[in-house]
């Protein structure tokens, strides 16, 4: 596969990476040329479409040709890496895998086999090694993928071709995800600053749309306890302050609104609070996601668990679920 149009359809393949490495001089030149703006805007659009879970059918090509499409893939990965935000990374990986999988389903059988083989899956056979199968299905929750529900013989899991093809998509997502975040030099991130800010603003807006109006009565018990502690003037340990700030930021509160929560503390220091809030919510270039329940437990922050807690593993999932119950 040497055609840049094919490479743009599967930009995570080694051949595509080789092409980008070979042409990185071109990318460098492009970034210094007037095409810079076009490429970066395409990359931002790519991330924003991923964030809003847009149907990849509606967004097949970013840019005016396959090369711009491929470069915008590279830049979009650099943008989310500069922000180092877990949600953005997950959404971009899912979106890119979905997009590539759509192209995959349109290929001839023999080409599909070649592409699947290039990412370590033999779809032409009616089985795959258990050791390949198990990590591939770890993110799939349907009963049919559970190993106990499959026929296994001599260390191989039997699969219909159509099922093996479904697993190609999982493998694509895994390959795209495992290489993120990239280690992008700080000066390059600085060069992308305005585009990174555009992505961060879109993420904030998306959070507002997804979580809707703030409903304090849906906060998980751990977060309510942190707010009560702040209000009572308790000096929260760093991790508690971080968990609270990141949670409030993730559900879409602005820096100012978060500072208002901390303002309830008797020893409130506006400039220190604004500094901490802005640091956590991305002004310093790195966005943070609130810690999962397991981390909260490790730090002794998981308190007053209730029935909803049994069904979630993240305070943000608790909030979403509880909010729905209140609607
Ligand atoms: S289980 Fe999770 S959501 Fe519930 S209190 Fe503990 S950390 Fe919070």
Tens of pLDDT, residues 52-85:
888 888 877 898 999 999 999 999 999 999 988 7
CB atoms inside a 10 Å sphere around CB 116: 21
The SS3 call for residue 230 is helix
- Stretch 210-233: mean pLDDT: 87
- Stretch 301-312: mean pLDDT: 94
Contact criterion met (CB below 8 Å) for 116 and 123: yes
Q: CA dist 152 to 43, 134, 144, 167, Å?
A: 43, 12, 13, 17
Q: Can you give the pLDDT at residue 2? A: 66
- Stretch 270-283: mean pLDDT: 71
Range in 28-32, 199-203, 257-261, 281-285 the model is least confident about: 281-285
- Stretch 24-31: mean pLDDT: 72
Sign for the CA dihedral angle at 157, 140, 55, 85 comes to: negative
Atom of ligand 1 nearest to the CA of 314: 2
Atom of ligand 1 nearest to the CA of 221: 5
Is the pLDDT at 30 greater than 60, yes or no?
yes
Tokens 């001089």 locate to 25
Q: Can you give the pLDDT at residue 286? A: 59
Range in 11-20, 50-59, 203-212, 242-251 the model is least confident about: 203-212
Is the pLDDT at 90 greater than 80, yes or no?
yes
Is the pLDDT at 305 greater than 80, yes or no?
yes
DSSP 8-class letter at 310: G
The SS3 call for residue 287 is strand
- Stretch 205-234: mean pLDDT: 85
Separation of CA 309 and ligand 1 centre (Å): 5
Sequence spans of domains, the chain: 4-95+181-191, 105-175, 212-326
Atom of ligand 1 nearest to the CA of 223: 8
Q: What percent of the chain has pLDDT over 90?
A: 44
Contact criterion met (CB below 8 Å) for 101 and 134: no
Is 243's C-beta closer than 6 angstroms to any atom of ligand 1? no
Is 11's C-beta closer than 6 angstroms to any atom of ligand 1? no
Is the pLDDT at 307 greater than 90, yes or no?
yes
Q: Can you give the pLDDT at residue 1? A: 52
- Rounded to whole angstroms, the Cα distance separating 136 from 262 reads 43
Q: Sheet holding 152-153: strands in order across?
A: 127-129, 156-158, 152-153
Q: Give 220's contacts (C-beta < 8 A, 6+ positions apart).
A: 308, 309, 312, 315, 318, 319, 322
| Both tokens assigned to 63 | 């840019």
- Stretch 140-163: mean pLDDT: 89
Angle at the Cα of 294 (from 289 to 296), degrees rounded to 5?
Answer: 65
Is the pLDDT at 236 greater than 60, yes or no?
yes
Separation of CA 326 and ligand 1 centre (Å): 18
- Rounded to whole angstroms, the Cα distance separating 41 from 75 reads 10
């Amino acid at each position: 596969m040497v055609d840049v149009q094919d490479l743009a359809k599967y930009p995570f393949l080694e051949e595509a990476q080789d092409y980008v490495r070979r042409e990185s001089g071109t990318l460098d030149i492009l970034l210094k040329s007037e095409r810079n703006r076009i490429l970066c805007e395409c990359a931002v659009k790519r991330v924003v479409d991923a964030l809003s879970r847009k149907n990849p059918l509606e967004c097949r090509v970013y840019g005016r040709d396959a090369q711009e499409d491929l470069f915008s893939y590279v830049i979009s990965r650099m943008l989310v890496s500069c922000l180092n935000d877990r949600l953005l990374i997950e959404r971009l990986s899912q979106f890119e895998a979905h997009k590539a999988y759509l192209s995959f389903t349109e290929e001839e059988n023999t080409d599909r086999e070649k592409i699947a083989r290039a990412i370590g899956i033999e779809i032409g056979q009616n089985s795959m090694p258990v050791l390949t199968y198990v990590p591939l299905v770890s993110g799939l929750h349907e009963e049919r993928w559970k190993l106990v529900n499959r026929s296994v013989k001599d260390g191989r899991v039997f699969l219909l071709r159509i099922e093996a093809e479904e697993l190609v998509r999982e493998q694509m997502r895994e390959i795209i995800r495992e290489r993120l975040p990239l280690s992008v030099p700080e000066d390059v991130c600085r060069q992308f600053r305005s585009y990174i800010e555009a992505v961060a603003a879109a993420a904030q807006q998306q959070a507002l749309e997804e979580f809707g109006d703030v409903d304090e009565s849906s906060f998980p018990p751990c977060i309510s306890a942190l707010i009560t502690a702040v209000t009572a003037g308790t000096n929260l340990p760093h991790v508690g302050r971080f968990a609270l700030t990141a949670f409030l930021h993730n559900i879409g509160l602005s820096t100012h609104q978060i500072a208002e929560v901390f303002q309830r503390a008797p020893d409130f220091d506006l400039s220190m609070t604004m500094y901490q809030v802005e640091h956590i919510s991305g002004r310093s270039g790195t966005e943070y996601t609130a810690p999962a329940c397991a981390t909260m437990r490790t730090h002794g922050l998981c308190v007053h668990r209730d029935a909803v807690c049994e069904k979630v593993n993240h305070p943000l999932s608790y909030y979403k679920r509880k909010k729905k119950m209140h609607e």
